[in-house]
Amino acid sequence: MKIAILSNEFPPNVYGGAGVHVEYLTRELAKLENRKHKVDVYCFGNQKETKENLSVKGIDASYNYESHDPKHKKFLDTVLKDIVMAGSIEGADVVHCHTWYSHFAGIMAKNLLQAPLVLSTHSLEPHRPWKAEQLGTAYNGSSWIEKTAYQNSDGVIAVSEAMKNDVHALYDVPFEKIRVIHNGIDLDQYKASENGSVLDKYKIDKKKPFILFVGRITRQKGIIHLVNAIKHIKPGYPVVLCAGAPDTEEIAKEMEEKVAKAKKESKNDIIWIPEMLSKEDVIILYSKAALFVCPSVYEPFGIINLEAMACNTPVVAAKVGGIPEVVIPGETGLLVPIKTKGGADVEPADPDAFAKELAEAVNSIIDKPDTLAEMGKKSRKRVEEHFSWTSIAAKTLDFYTALAEKFKK
């Protein structure tokens, strides 16, 4: 089978869970069944690589056109790259798209190549209204592209049961077209590791159990709510925020102000690392942390929690999206419910209450080392038993095969 994977993100340009997913899925697909399948990745960037039956072609198209609203430029650049991407695909038995950034290319490729179109639900635009901060009215454009793609898809891979229900509710995709295949983790790469020098590098006190956050500075990841929660956390436990790549200048400024305020109001040390760290450093931080916190207000799955759990670290996370399918309360961590504003708005109705509840969950176990250690062991075991990329790739290939056979008929 010849498989075309379309994505905005691919190494070295990875900034979110979708990019992580594409990186590992393509690697494992290329290994399956004695490498007899050809996997061609088309992504945004200048990558160019061929390894046996896996090839990567970056689309770096640009054009100096007029854009009266600067916020529209990212959307228009995406459409341009998608047009070039669709024309670059050298035949395919199946076209598999990841996020709205590649969906327009997928719609065109489906018709140009007469191949089934598969979409993976890493997120859905109606549940990300804060995207209007980045795109302005072009958010209407990204929403239209996403809706059109789902309505023209031949199959949908939902990364969680929650996303399966969302796709059906938002875009009327029949349940029989949707298959739930969870995200995974590289168990050989993500595991408890020892390297105290990494803590020294970021000036983290080795003698104190610390609380960790890793993620982008976005509304979706809920980082502001965690910062607001720090003043309610028991004193003596440093909070390490590995938070970079802000979505907008506005949220970057808000983050700076909130961290400065939290440092004044809290007795806990706050170490903010305002950059996206290497995998190697992040794995050490996961391994050394007493507890990982995921305050996301919208999380279709949450690979980040698997990464922490694979390193024997329990998780306190918001009870949203696919997270309850990963974190088991009382066994691998704790879940914090969110009362939202309702409808498509996933922001907490009472942000102060949510911040306090996050802190209460952390406080209930942070000073119990035996409980944390036991949860850490169960976290690793759960990841090993349920979230291997090899099995996920095999399930994905089975879905491709069924769709390709049905499409030919």
Q: How many CB atoms lie within 10 A of CB 287?
A: 20
DSSP secondary structure letter of residue 185: B
pLDDT band at 346 (very low <50, low <70, confident <90, very high): confident
What single-letter amino acid sits at 83? I
Whether 15 has a pLDDT exceeding 90, the answer reads no
Q: Which of 320, 346, 349, 351 is nearest to 335 (CA)?
A: 320
With cut-offs at 50, 70 and 90, classify the pLDDT of residue 407.
confident
pLDDT of 342 over the 80 cut = no
Q: Which long-range contacts (CB under 8 A, 24 or more apart) does 367-376 make?
A: 367/234, 369/209, 369/290, 372/209, 372/290, 372/291, 372/314, 375/314, 375/331, 375/332, 375/333, 376/312, 376/313, 376/314
Scanning 61-130, the segments in alpha helix (DSSP H) are 73-88, 100-113
SS3 217: coil
**285 and 242 in contact (C-beta within 8 Å)?**
yes
The reported pLDDT for the residue numbered 194 is 84
Report how far residue 115's alpha carbon sits from residue 101's, in angstroms, rounded to the nearest whole number. Answer: 19
> Reduced to 3 states, what is the DSSP secondary structure of residue 52?
coil
Length in residues, the chain: 409
Q: Count the Cβ atoms, other than its own, within 10 Å of residue 326.
A: 28
Q: How many CB atoms lie within 10 A of CB 353?
A: 12
**pLDDT for 68 beyond 90:** no
The total of other beta-carbon atoms located within 10 Å of residue 251's CB is 19
pLDDT of residue 35: 78
Q: Using one digit for the tens of pLDDT, what is the confidence trace for 219-236?
A: 999 999 999 999 999 999
Cis peptide before 11 (omega within 30 of 0): no
Q: 3-class DSSP state for residue 321? A: coil
The label of the residue with tokens 């290939």 reads: 397
Average pLDDT, the chain: 94
Q: Residue 34: is its pLDDT beyond 80?
A: no
Distance of CA 109 to the CA centre of its chain: 25
Query: Which contacts qualify for 256-265: CB closer than 8 Å, 24 or more apart?
Result: 258/224, 258/227, 258/228, 259/227, 262/227, 262/228, 262/230, 262/231, 265/230, 265/231
Give pLDDT, residue 408. 81
Burial of 137 (C-beta count, 10 Å sphere; 0-12/13-18/19+): exposed
Gap between the Cα atoms of 125 and 211, Å rounded: 31
Pairing type for strands 38-44 and 291-294 reads unpaired
Check: CB of residue 19 under 8 Å from CB of residue 45.
no
Q: What is the CATH code of the structural domain delimited by 2-184+388-408?
A: 3.40.50.2000
Tens of pLDDT along 52-67? Answer: 899 999 999 988 888 8
Residue 109 CA to residue 292 CA, distance in Å, equals 41
C-alpha to C-alpha distance for 182 and 368, rounded to whole angstroms = 31
Q: Which fold has domain 196-386?
A: Rossmann fold (3.40.50)
Q: Strands 340-342 and 178-180: what pairing? A: unpaired
Ranges for all domains in the chain classified under CATH 3.40.50.2000: 2-184+388-408, 196-386
Burial of 277 (0-12, 13-18, 19+ CB in 10 A): middle
Write the pLDDT tens digit of every residue in 276-295.
Answer: 899 999 999 999 999 999 99
Lateral strand order in the sheet of 315-318 = 270-273, 239-244, 211-216, 291-294, 315-318, 333-336
Is the pLDDT confidence value at 259 over 80?
yes
User: Which of 295, 249, 242 has the alpha carbon at shortest distance from 272?
Assistant: 242
Q: Are 28 and 37 in contact (CB under 8 A)?
A: no
Compute the distance between CA of residue 60 and CA of residue 39 in angstroms, rounded to an integer. Answer: 20
